């Protein structure tokens, strides 16, 4: 049980760090949203069904304009962005890969705090039961 607690704490910390590093290497740009495409539908009944969306458009970078598709999926709120220009982050090696800035996380959020607390509780359990 102690080993499981340490492994789970490590997993929590891995999730925390990987969510922070995901945007590294991407640069800031602007995306002209031309089309919002339904990507996947989730849920088992019509009462709980939700749809994810991919964004397609043209990204403007210092080296030019490129057709782009979002690497993330978004909820229905993103449909309101169609036809507008929004800030984004793009991969300089492949400018066609973008993520909208609305997915950027700044500061410490509730998810970060919960992950750290769960990891700390697991490590404390492992320490006192070792």
- DSSP letters of 29-74? EEEEEEEEEEEEEE-SSTTS-EEEEEEEEEEEETTEEEEEEESS-B
Query: In this structure, are residues 20 and 85 in contact, taking their beta carbons and an 8 Å threshold?
Result: no
Digit-coded pLDDT (tens) for 14-51:
887 776 655 567 888 899 999 988 877 666 666 666 78
Q: List the structure tokens of 94.
A: 């492949």
Q: How far apart are CA 33 and CA 68, in angstroms?
A: 9
For 84-115, the pLDDT digits (tens) are: 999 988 888 888 888 887 645 566 777 778 88
Helices (runs of H) and strands (runs of E) counted in the chain:
2, 5
pLDDT (0 to 100) of residue 50: 74
- pTM here? 0.57
**pLDDT recorded at residue 66:** 92
Predicted confidence at residue 16, as pLDDT, reads: 77
- The pLDDT of residue 130 is 80
Q: How far is CA 68 from CA 74, 100, 106, in A?
A: 15, 11, 24
Better-predicted residue by pLDDT, 56 or 1: 56
Q: What pLDDT is recorded for position 28?
A: 85
Taking only the tens place, the pLDDT of each residue in 42-92 is: 666 666 667 888 999 999 888 889 999 988 888 888 888 889 999 988 888
71, 1, 75: which is closest to 31 by C-alpha? Answer: 71
């Amino acid at each position: 049980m102690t080993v499981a607690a340490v492994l789970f704490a490590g997993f929590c910390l891995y999730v925390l760090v990987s969510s922070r590093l995901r945007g590294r290497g991407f640069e800031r740009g602007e995306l002209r949203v031309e089309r919002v495409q339904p990507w996947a539908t989730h849920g088992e009944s019509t009462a709980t069904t939700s749809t994810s969306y991919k964004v397609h458009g043209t990204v403007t970078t210092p080296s030019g304009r490129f057709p782009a598709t979002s690497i993330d999926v978004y909820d229905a709120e993103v449909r309101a962005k169609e036809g507008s220009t929004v800030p984004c982050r793009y991969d300089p090696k492949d400018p066609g890969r973008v993520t909208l800035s609305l997915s950027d996380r700044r500061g410490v959020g509730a998810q970060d705090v919960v992950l750290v607390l769960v990891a700390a509780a697991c490590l404390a359990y492992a320490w006192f039961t070792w």
